A and B are shown apart, each in its own frame.
Chain A
Amino acid sequence: MSGARSQSLLWLAQRGSAVVLALCVVVHLSTMIVAVRRGLTAAEILGRTRGSLVWAAFYGVFVLGVAIHAPIGLRTIVAEIHGGHRRSIDVAMLAVAAVLLALGLRAVVAVTMGRAA
């Protein structure tokens, strides 16, 4: 991806996802601070998130934001360190995005839909 238009859209995607991530991080951290009662335990967290479509949607959006935001920034850094080979860097970054999305969504499913231990 090297055209002027695609580069501009990538920039827009990174800025847009940054806004989403900023909101998600604030909600995530403030929930931890406000919700913790008797120590930060897995049981307490899972008790809150399991079966909750709201938390599933929230963390789904969070993961999607990460999968969009991180590879675009990483793409620039890798290109500056290694130079050239833009196409192979783009393919590698698509793979990074896919891995982040897959691992993230797997975690979201586990904490919102998994069975109690």
Chain B
Amino acid sequence: MNTLSVRVWRTAADGAGGRFVAYDVPRSPAQTVLDVVTHIQRRVDSTLAYRFACRVGMCGSCAMTVNGRARWTCRTHVDAVSGGGLEIAPLAQLPVIRDLVTDMREFFDKWARAKGQFVPTATRRDGFATVAPASRERRAVDAAIECIGCAVCYSSCDVVGWNPAYLGPAALNRAWTLVNDPRDGARSERLAAVAGDAGCHACHTHQSCTERCPKQLAPTASIAGLKRMTAFAALTGALR
């Protein structure tokens, strides 16, 4: 049987550090990297910890580092990445809980720090708000609203590694969708939250987030939009 040589990151028993462990996995047609990890966990070593849910690119929970690059494992075919074997590690830039499972708390706490919550201005007694699909604000966030929070961009961002306080591409992309939402009531607080050394101004425009986003979104463009918007707000006195 045709087999694939796979190296998988395993956390040490005491939780400190870890190492890559080699496995041989049978090849099958249209096999995904998630299929490989699942095979190891179910047939070879049931102690392997990993995370997944939908298996079809909707939930964003199965992202891992595959051959040095953050990817959704469910949508990555082995054929596309396994030229010289396969090396699977947890997402970079995030603390590892065990094996391939990372702690996503800091990633989502940063969404909260970027004021990523919608703040309504209407009540249940008001009619439905109308957002014209062709309006400038709506078109500006057409792509950005499709983010599912998989953290591939965060894991791929060099600035996140250099500046631990940096909010990261996903949180800033979320803020960009909200500052363009005419129904939202916290625009100026959000702009204040995303400006500065930990916010949009820390971005170096390397575009790793945009290159690696599995949904082909452009967080770099969202961050550039925030830079323009905060600058305008600073000039007009709308930013404290």
Contact B235 A12, beta carbon cutoff 8 Å: yes
The proximity string for B residues 140-166 relative to A, scoring 1 for CB distances below 8 Å and 0 otherwise, is: 000000000000000000010011000
> Using a Cβ cutoff of 8 Å, how many contacts connect chains A and B?
54
What is the CA–CA distance of A49 and B230 in the complex, to the nearest angstrom?
41
Report which A residues bind B (CB closer than 8 A).
Answer: 2-5, 7-12, 15, 76, 79-80, 86
A15: which B residues are within 8 A, CB to CB?
A: 231
The proximity string for B residues 54-91 relative to A, scoring 1 for CB distances below 8 Å and 0 otherwise, is: 00000000000000000000000000000000000000
Pairs A–B under 8 Å by Cβ, sample size 28: A3-B196, A3-B240, A4-B191, A4-B196, A4-B199, A4-B230, A4-B239, A4-B240, A5-B195, A5-B239, A5-B240, A7-B197, A7-B199, A8-B231, A8-B233, A8-B234, A8-B239, A9-B231, A9-B235, A10-B201, A11-B201, A12-B235, A15-B231, A76-B197, A76-B201, A76-B204, A80-B162, A86-B197
B199: which A residues are within 8 A, CB to CB?
A: 4, 7
What is the CA–CA distance of A11 and B227 in the complex, to the nearest angstrom?
8
What is the CA–CA distance of A11 and B203 in the complex, to the nearest angstrom?
11
B202 interface residue per 8 A CB criterion: yes
Contact A79 B197, beta carbon cutoff 8 Å: yes
Find the residue from A8, A15, A76 having the highest chain B CB count within 10 A. Answer: A8
Report which B residues bind A (CB closer than 8 A).
Answer: 159, 162-163, 191-193, 195-197, 199, 201-202, 204, 227, 230-231, 233-235, 239-240
Find the residue from A2, A4, A11, A80 having the highest chain B CB count within 10 A. Answer: A4
Decide if the interface of chain A is mainly helix, strand, loop or mixed: helix
What is the CA–CA distance of A5 and B234 in the complex, to the nearest angstrom?
5
Contact A9 B234, beta carbon cutoff 8 Å: yes
B193: which A residues are within 8 A, CB to CB?
A: 4
What is the CA–CA distance of A76 and B234 in the complex, to the nearest angstrom?
20
What is the CA–CA distance of A8 and B202 in the complex, to the nearest angstrom?
11
Give the distance to chain B from A74, nearest Cβ to Cβ, in Å: 13
Can you name the residue of chain A whose Cβ is closest to the Cβ of B226?
Answer: A8
Q: Which 10 A-B pairs have the closest CB atoms?
A: A4-B195, A8-B234, A7-B196, A8-B230, A4-B192, A80-B162, A12-B231, A5-B234, A5-B239, A8-B231
A5: which B residues are within 8 A, CB to CB?
A: 195, 234, 239-240
Contact A12/B234 with A4-B192, A76-B202 known, Cβ cut-off 8 Å: yes
What is the CA–CA distance of A86 and B201 in the complex, to the nearest angstrom?
15
Give the distance to chain B from A56, nearest Cβ to Cβ, in Å: 31
